[in-house]
Amino acid sequence: MKPAPQIPDDPQPPVHVAIIMDGNGRWAKARKLPRAAGHKKGADAVKKVVRAAGELGVSYLTLYSFSSENWKRPPSEVKDLMGLLRLHLKSEIADLHKNNVRLLVIGDRSGLAADIVDLIEIAETKTGGNTGLTLVLALNYGGRGDIAATAQRLAAEAAAGRLNAEDITEDLFSDHMDTAGMPEPDLLIRTGGDQRISNFLLWEMAYTEFLFVEKFWPEFGADDLEKAVMDFKGRERRFGAVGS
């Protein structure tokens, strides 16, 4: 059994921050702009927040960029989102690399366009040795999908006689998920005012601290991330044990 964690006197920043970047469409609507304009502005917010995360001492930043359910949107909006993704994967990688950021992608790549998969692989290879912030993009990602896919892989291993069912522990399961090797998120931020997790990191968020903010994603900036980190530092995490 894991020992009860100590609550330090000098609270540390969250190691892993996960963000549900929500509210692009409503931001645009409030300005009588097309939803695509909100997504474009949202991509600008990403740049600022990535920079700020590194400066605040965050080690992992996971951004929910496209969920496995977002295919339900009108084809034109999906096209806009994929277009922006393409554009930024091309234009931002050099800068991320220069800033020692390591890029990783989670989610089901088999559902993405081949050229986007290529761009992802190029970016992951180029930045793979970087030692600064790890930026994780969740693309065509769904928490339940990852849990089910992991169960399927482990079941296949067991059926092939390479794994005993009783060896399937929580740790082994974690080690076979898309998020294998990453620390669990310490802090989840969702912008846009809704209070739900929309199929993000379900397994990994068992003990994550949640922060829901009213601001739409395109308005979220470095100062908001700093406030979120301050809020996190004031919380007492107990992980089921007794408090201090």
Task: Tell me which residues are annotated as active site.
Answer: 22, 70
Q: Does 22 bind Mg ion (CB under 5 A)?
A: yes
Residues 50-79 that bind ligand IPE (CB under 6 A): 64-67, 70
Name the DSSP class of 61: E
Query: Which lies closer to Mg ion via its Cβ, residue 22 or residue 92?
Result: 22
Quick check: 18 binds ligand IPE (CB under 6 A)? no
With CB under 6 A as the contact rule, which of the stretches 19-27, 48-56, 86-94, 203-211 interacts with ligand IPE? 19-27
| Residue 27 binding Mg ion, by CB under 5 A | no
Question: Can residue 64 be called a binding residue for Mg ion (CB under 5 A)?
Answer: no
DSSP state of 236: P
Bridge partners (DSSP) of residue 16 are 60
Compose the 166-195 pattern: x for residues touching ligand IPE by CB under 6 A, - for all others. Answer: --------------------------x-x-
DSSP 32: T
Contact 187, 229 (CB under 8 A): yes
Task: Residue 220: name its binding partner from ligand IPE, Mg ion, none (Cβ under 5 to 8 Å by kind).
Answer: none
Name the one residue in this structure whose structure tokens are 């304009």: 37
64 binds, among ligand IPE, Mg ion, none (CB under 5 to 8 A by kind): ligand IPE
Place of tokens 């005012």: 193
Report the residue number, 157 or 194, with the smaller CB distance to ligand IPE: 194
Site for ligand IPE in 25-54 (CB under 6 A): 25-26
Beta bridge partners of 197: none
Query: Residue 227 interacts with ligand IPE (CB under 6 A)?
Result: no
Binding site for Mg ion (CB under 5 A): 22
Positions in the binding site for ligand IPE (CB under 6 A): 20-26, 64-67, 70, 81, 192, 194, 196, 198, 217
